[in-house]
Structure 1
């Protein structure tokens, strides 16, 4: 992992093949269901690369942050890359690889937060927050397939 306090990365085994996991992650409504704090996904537009552009609202520390996500890489069944634009900036990189028992899903992210009380809390607090959010999203994806 990077020393950047706004970067986080983690992996999990998902009990489904990469094609199925990729298709699940290709639906923006599923991101709202698995990502803590993501409260609204709207204005979804298809892009020529197979990805999507959409608007979102993310709640952090009681405040809503609106922005746009543009999928820059749509490489079935191996990779999704999203650029976050607006007050919350960054990149989300989802990589899928076949593994015994299903798919190894790796979630890497780098975030740029708006300057406010959150960023003044300091790097260790921000790093732990990002790592917890990312881990929760991975566990939520895995749980969707464990239920089936």
Structure 2
């Protein structure tokens, strides 16, 4: 793994970690928080995720595609990470990136760190994926902004 393999953004969100984590561990809400607009919907959801759970996502960046995600890290209200591969046979040669959210309670709220880790990305797709770093960083910042809006808005 190189230092270029992990990109992280942070945001102090004026909220306890519990409502933030609740958004992250329910795939059915991921389209609402996705700052890049590529997540179209979950193939499963409405349930809380557990370590080892798998969930599918319908995606679109130009063309529609789907992903299969496996929860590889989970610490209630502190951390969740899933590894993403392409669905079907393509998943054997494309994918492997990890999306991770760390939540740290601090004075004034929760410091949320979103990380995009391509250290386990398939060798075939890694050079292409690496070129998406700038866009991914921007989209992650937008995701954290959306999360903040959702957990701090009162109805």
TM-score (normalised: structure 1): 0.79
The residue that corresponds to 1:83 in the other structure is: 83
Deviation digits for residues 24-68 of structure 1, max 9, x if unmatched? 22111221211121112113487663x6311112212x1123110
What is the deviation of 1:21? 1.5
* Count of residues in Structure 1 that have an aligned counterpart in Structure 2: 139
- Which of these residues, 105, 122, 126, is aligned with residue 132 of structure 2? 126
**Structure 2 matches for 1:64-143, cutoff 5 A?**
64-86=64-86, 87-111=94-118, 112=121, 115=125, 119=128, 125-143=131-149
Q: For residues 50 and 147 of structure 2, what CA distance do their matches in structure 1 show? A: 26
Residue 16 (structure 1) shift: 1.2
Gaps of 5+ in 2: 87-93
Q: CA RMSD in A?
A: 2.6
Match of 2:59 in 1: 58
Unaligned runs of 5+ in 1: none
CA distance in 2, matches of 1:3, 1:48: 29
Aligned residue in 2 for 1:23: 22
SS of the residue aligned with 1:105? strand
Contact conserved, 1:46 with 1:52, CA < 8 A, in 2? no
Which secondary structure does the structure 1 equivalent of 2:143 belong to?
helix
1:43 is matched with 44
Partners of 1:147 and 1:100 in 2: how far apart?
A: 20
Q: Which moved more, 1:33-42 or 1:23-32?
A: 23-32
